[in-house]
Amino acid sequence: MPRGGARLLQGGPIAAEIRGAVAEDVAGYVARNGRAPVLAVVICGRDAPSMVYLHQILRSCEKVGIDGRLVEVDGAEPEARLVDAIRALNADPAVNGIIVQMPLPPTVRLRPIVDAIDPAKDIDGIHPLNAGLLRLGYDGFLPATAHAAVEILRRSGVEIEGKRATVVGRSAVVGMPAAFLLLRENATVTVCHSRTRDLARHVKDAEILVVAAGRPGLIRGEMLRRGVVVVDVGINVVDGVLVGDVDFESARRVASAITPVPGGVGPLTNALLLAHLVRAALAQESGTAPGASAATNAASVPARAPVPSADTSAATVGGASVATATRGAR
Ligand code: NAD
C-alpha cells in the first residue's frame, strides 16, 4: 500500500479513454449511415437528482457525436403513456438505444415499463432478457453502473480471480449484476443486503468490497481488512455534499485502493452507457441479434462459446471489457 493511504481508482481517465473510442465508432457509423446514432432518454415526472443525471448523459452524447433525445411523458395514466412512448421508440429504426428515468413515479409499476423495452435497445441492461443473459454468462447488455464497478477494477489492474469479494446491496440494477460480473471474473462472491445479520463480518472478510447500498457512511475504515480494494458505488447528498456509502477518510487509511466519490464509478458509468449505445447501433446496423457480438472500432466483441461454462473470453465493448464466461465454473 502506498504511504499516506490508498491508491485512488479514478474513473475520469478511464472514461475519457472509452469516450475517445466511442467517438471513433460513432464517426464510422455516421460515415456509413449518413446520420448519428440515437439515444432516447425517456422521462416521466421531474425527480431532481435523476434529471441532473439524465442531462449529464445528454451532454456526454453531444461530445461524442451521439444524437441524444429527451422524450417527456406526462399527463394522466402515466404508465400506459410510458409504455406507448417506449413502443414507439422500439418501432423507430432511427432510435438505437433507450433508457428510462429511474426512479419511476410512485403510480407507475416498474415491470410493465421494463418489459416494454426492446432488449436490442436496452442499453442499460434492465430488460429481463438482458438480466437473464448476464446470469447465464452470455453477453447481453450490462447495467452500466454494475459494469463500471467491475470495469474500474479491471482497468486499474486489480486482480479479481480467486479473491473474496463482498457486494453490499442486491438491487437488480447494481448489486446483483455487480455480483454476477465478479463471479464471472472468478472471484468468490458474498452478497449482503439490509437483512444480512452480520454485515461487519462479511465486510471484514472481503479482499474486494463493492458497496451499493445508498447509505452514507455505512462502511468505515475500522470495518475493513487491511489492503482491501474498495469500490464505492453510492451516491448520496449530505449537507449539500456528494458522498458515497463508504467513509472515505477512514477507509483510505486501511484500503490499498479505493474509488473516490465523486470521480470514481460515476464517470465510468456514463462513458459505458455511451459504449453500450454504440454497440447497440452497430449490432442493429449489421442485423445481429440482441446481445450478439458486434465488432466495434473501439474494440471487438469476440464470438463466444454457446455454453456458459466455456473458458473465459473477454467481451469488449466500446473499449471496455469484461470477461463474460466462467473458467471451470461450478
Ligand atoms: P437500492 O435502494 O435499489 O438498493 C440498495 C441495496 O442496499 C438493497 O439491496 C438493500 O438491501 C441494501 N442495503 C440498504 N441498507 C443496507 C444496510 N444497512 N446494510 C446492508 N445492505 C443494505 O439502490 P441502488 O439503485 O442499487 O443504488 C445503490 C447506490 O448506488 C445508491 O447510493 C445510488 O445512488 C447509487 N448509484 C450510483 C450510480 C453510479 O453511477 N455511481 C448509479 C446508480 C446508483
- Please report, in tens digits, the pLDDT of each residue of the chain (330 residues total): 555 689 999 999 999 999 999 999 999 999 999 999 999 999 998 777 778 888 999 999 999 999 999 999 988 999 999 999 999 999 999 999 999 999 999 999 999 999 999 999 999 999 999 999 999 999 899 999 999 999 999 999 999 999 999 999 999 999 999 999 999 999 999 999 999 999 999 999 999 999 999 999 999 999 999 999 999 999 999 999 999 999 999 999 999 999 999 999 999 999 999 999 999 999 999 998 655 444 444 333 332 333 333 333 334 444 444 433 333 334
Whole-number Å distance, alpha carbon 168 to ligand 1 midpoint, is 8
Pocket of ligand 1 contains residue 174 by CB under 6 Å = yes
In the structure grid, which three cell numbers stand for residue 282, read together? 452497430
Pocket of ligand 1 contains residue 170 by CB under 6 Å = yes
- DSSP-derived pairing of the beta strands 236-238 and 241-243: antiparallel
Alpha carbons within 13 angstroms on the beta-carbon side of residue 281 total 30
Alpha carbons within 13 angstroms on the beta-carbon side of residue 122 total 26
Calpha distance 56→15 (Å, rounded): 14
Specify whether the CB–CB gap between 167 and 189 falls below 8 A: yes
Ligand 1 pocket mutation pick from 10, 99, 235, 245 by most atoms within 8 angstroms of CB: 235
Calpha distance 299→60 (Å, rounded): 20
Q: For the beta carbon of residue 213, count every other beta carbon within 10 angstroms.
A: 24
Pocket of ligand 1 contains residue 244 by CB under 6 Å = no
Pocket of ligand 1 contains residue 120 by CB under 6 Å = no
**What pLDDT, on a 0 to 100 scale, did the predictor assign at position 4?**
64
- CA atoms 15, 16, 17, 21: torsion sign: positive
Calpha distance 161→186 (Å, rounded): 5
Whole-number Å distance, alpha carbon 194 to ligand 1 midpoint, is 10
**What pLDDT, on a 0 to 100 scale, did the predictor assign at position 1?**
53
Whole-number Å distance, alpha carbon 215 to ligand 1 midpoint, is 7
Whole-number Å distance, alpha carbon 171 to ligand 1 midpoint, is 7
Specify whether the CB–CB gap between 309 and 329 falls below 8 A: yes
Residue having the nearest C-alpha atom to atom 28 of ligand 1: 212
**What pLDDT, on a 0 to 100 scale, did the predictor assign at position 306?**
31
**What pLDDT, on a 0 to 100 scale, did the predictor assign at position 2?**
52
**What pLDDT, on a 0 to 100 scale, did the predictor assign at position 50?**
79
In the structure grid, which three cell numbers stand for residue 162, read together? 480467486
What is the reported pTM? 0.90
**What pLDDT, on a 0 to 100 scale, did the predictor assign at position 47?**
74
User: Looking at ligand 1, which atom is closest to the CA of residue 102?
Assistant: 25
